[in-house]
Amino acid sequence: MALPGFKSIPLPLVQLSLSAVLKCGQSFRWSILTSEATQENSSEPSHTHIEYRLCLKDRVVCLRQSPDTLFYRSVFPDPQPLSTNLLEHEKETLEWLKDYFQLNIDLVSLYKQWGHKDKVFSKFQERFEGIRILRQDPWENLISFICSSNNNISRITKMVQGLCREYSPPLLSMEHPFSPKETLTYYPFPPPSTLAASPVGLKLRALGFGYRADFIQKTAKMLVDAHGIDAPISPHHSTEASEIWLAQLRKRSTADARQELLKFVGVGRKVADCILLMSMDKKEVIPVDTHVIQIATKHYGFKGSTSGKTNMTPKLYEEISTKLSSIWGEYAGWAHTVRIPLLSLSVIIPNLSL
């Protein structure tokens, strides 16, 4: 089935479910645009009713999805590229999407492996199809997850988007896909040098970042001071030297990269592990968050405190991480992303353990 203005590739929902992946707390900068009329109907939103948009480098990428197809198109700041060049641009967008969603990884075979090794997973796996790890920009990921501490997904999303609106010039504006009267503006993620300036802490605090405001400014300043801001000249998108240095951590070992990340203010073990998994290719890393603790105590034989709430200690973190790694194996971090749907399901269907 064709969609006017969009390119497409065949891609089954079991490999990628945008609605699940883009809301599961990995990335906080996507616009998820729906048509009000059909939102009330509990029937699954299809490619005609929901569009996902992200400002990616020099363009806004728009995505829609049907059960077997991914639709994509790119919008540029005016003037739009000539139609002779448009094909090349869409080709580039597709390459970026393959990289961002790591489409070379076969999720179905991973699910099969996890289900084979893990009764809990096999029991629930049909219920959370298409949930995979994104390969995000390390700098954006670092700041986003500093925001995540002691926080919830909806607030983190507001904070990250507010930060982009405050500190980046708009890339472009375009109309809402389902209500053309509404104009939406898209902002890139601001570079380290912008967030390193000293008044940023105060401003972010005023924007509701709480105690994380200073962590962000200080982390940005540490990066800029240590690795500089030189960047190749580019009209709409550039990458500063410290961002490039950060991205180079992908080439280091997990332990080395983690050690570097832990030096930043506002980055502890859990946040470092999120960054390793979601932007630095460390597919085996399991960030142990409150949801993972709940699952570990509920389904995998960890004993919580008698009063219901277990408080985290470095030792407990290590124990849970090690245990789940031994169950899920090489792609353990990928397996762990289903924790939120798993938890909501196991409320309905309790009574499972290894």
Partner DNA sequence: TATCGGCCTAATGT
Partner DNA sequence: AACATTAGGCCGA
Q: Which amino acids are annotated catalytic?
A: 270
Let me know if 1 is exposed, middle or buried by CB neighbors in 10 A (0-12, 13-18, 19+): exposed
Stretch that binds DNA, among 40-48, 53-61, 68-76, 282-290 (CB under 7 A): 282-290
123 scored as a contact of DNA (CB under 7 A)? no
Footprint on residues 143-172 left by DNA (CB under 7 A): 148-155
295 scored as a contact of DNA (CB under 7 A)? no
Percent of the chain that is helix, strand, coil (3-state, to 5): 50, 10, 40
Q: Rounded to the nearest 5°, which phi and psi values hold at 75?
A: -120, 135
Q: What is the CA radius of gyration of the chain?
A: 21
Footprint on residues 321-340 left by DNA (CB under 7 A): 340
Task: Pick the closer one to DNA by CB: 17 or 69.
Answer: 17
279 scored as a contact of DNA (CB under 7 A)? no
Stretch that binds DNA, among 94-102, 103-111, 230-238, 288-296 (CB under 7 A): 288-296
Footprint on residues 43-102 left by DNA (CB under 7 A): none
What are 116's strand-pairing partners? Answer: none
Task: Pick the closer one to DNA by CB: 65 or 310.
Answer: 310
Binding mask 197-226 for DNA (x = CB under 7 A): --------x--xxxxx--x-----------
DSSP 282-314: -TT-----HHHHHHHHHHS-----TTSPPPP-H
Element (H, E) at 53: strand 50-56
Let me know if 326 is exposed, middle or buried by CB neighbors in 10 A (0-12, 13-18, 19+): exposed
19 scored as a contact of DNA (CB under 7 A)? no
Rounded alpha-carbon distances, angstroms, from residue 50 to 46, 62, 133, 237: 7, 10, 21, 28
Binding mask 233-272 for DNA (x = CB under 7 A): -------------------------------xxxxxxxxx
Residues near DNA (CB under 7 A) are 24-26, 148-155, 205, 208-212, 215, 264-272, 274, 287, 289-291, 308-309, 311-315, 340
